Amino acid sequence: MPPRRVIGIDAGGTKLLGGVVDDQLVVHNRVRRYWRGADRAETLDVFVEAVAEIRAAAPDVEAVGFGIPALVDRERAVSVWSNHLPIDDVQFGSLMSERIGLPVWVDNDTNVALLAEHRHGAARGANDAVMLALGTGIGGGLILGGRLHRGAHGFAGELGHMTIDLHGEDCPGDCPGRGCFETIVSGRAIAVAAERAGRASPDSPLGRLVEDGREISGGLVAEMAHDGDEGAQAVLAGVGERLGVGIAGLVNALDPDVVVIGGGAGAAADLLLDPARAAAAARVLPPGREPPSIVPTRFGDESAMLGAALLALDGVGAWA
């Protein structure tokens, strides 16, 4: 019997990654899209166009799963609110299904990323797990008691919007908070810290990039750090320490088996995670206790795409 195939779409704050995924979790026909400052209609058009491109190479797909950076009412398939995309109060499932011509399933992007990691990746076998996806902001996901935890209204897991600093910076986007976790730890936070370091040391490689007007991204800082740039390494160490402090709070509150770190900033790997592990170890309760494993995703930046596909495969009963 040929494998059943669906499309998985991971739509982040600035990029989209999609592909055909079969019931053996093999990915085919990947596509990427990038955007900035798009309005609602343009954003939804990007989703539809990406699916159409993928589907042209794989007309046998049965459904589409979306992971979106939003609070999602899964029963109604509604995107209730998003801090990074203009998709508030969108009847996402029905709208996309009508435009695409296939059944559509949708959930929060980090929820579906953790779904993939829990079933097949870095959190496999864990009864309790936390996932932090470091991208434009911080996405969060929780496995509690072996199941994805959604909360009373389906909105649980917004770990990036925990207040870390009462008088901190305003949270970017439409979040009403300030001093949120994602203001100090995220791809954007890495870029902001790198720009500050560059302005403080204008003769450094970071300083020259800032002087030249180069756009500084978390990925660029990670690349420079891997190439041995000490300024970039110091930036990642500082952000990693703040990440570890936040992780310690989550560990003390939830006592997970494992903490999984994903998203674009996860490309920094141990340059970010080693300082995080040290900071978490110094703060978990009881003092001196070994903290849970803090590990990168197994599937890298494809976790949410694969998880969205799993959502669709579940929906069409591919495992029956």
- Output the tens digit of pLDDT for each of the chain's 320 residues: 788 999 999 998 888 999 999 999 999 999 999 877 789 999 999 999 999 999 999 999 999 999 999 999 999 999 999 998 999 999 999 999 999 999 999 999 999 999 999 999 999 999 999 999 998 889 999 999 999 999 999 899 999 999 988 999 999 888 999 999 999 998 889 999 999 999 999 999 998 998 998 999 888 898 899 889 999 999 999 999 999 999 999 999 999 999 999 987 666 778 999 999 999 999 999 998 888 999 999 999 999 999 999 999 999 987 64
* Alpha helices by DSSP H, 58-204: 92-100, 109-120, 181-184, 187-200
b/e code 221-249 from CB counts within 10 Å (16+ = b): bbebbeeebebbbbbbbbbbbbbbbbbbb
In order of their start, the domains of the chain are 5-113+302-315 (3.30.420.40), 126-297 (3.30.420.40)
Query: Alpha-carbon distance 11 to 313, whole Å?
Result: 18
10 Å Cβ neighbour count for 146? 11
| Whether the Cβ atoms of residue 149 and residue 157 lie closer than 8 Å to each other | yes
* CA within 13 Å, CB half, 187: 23
pTM of the predicted structure, to 2 decimals = 0.93
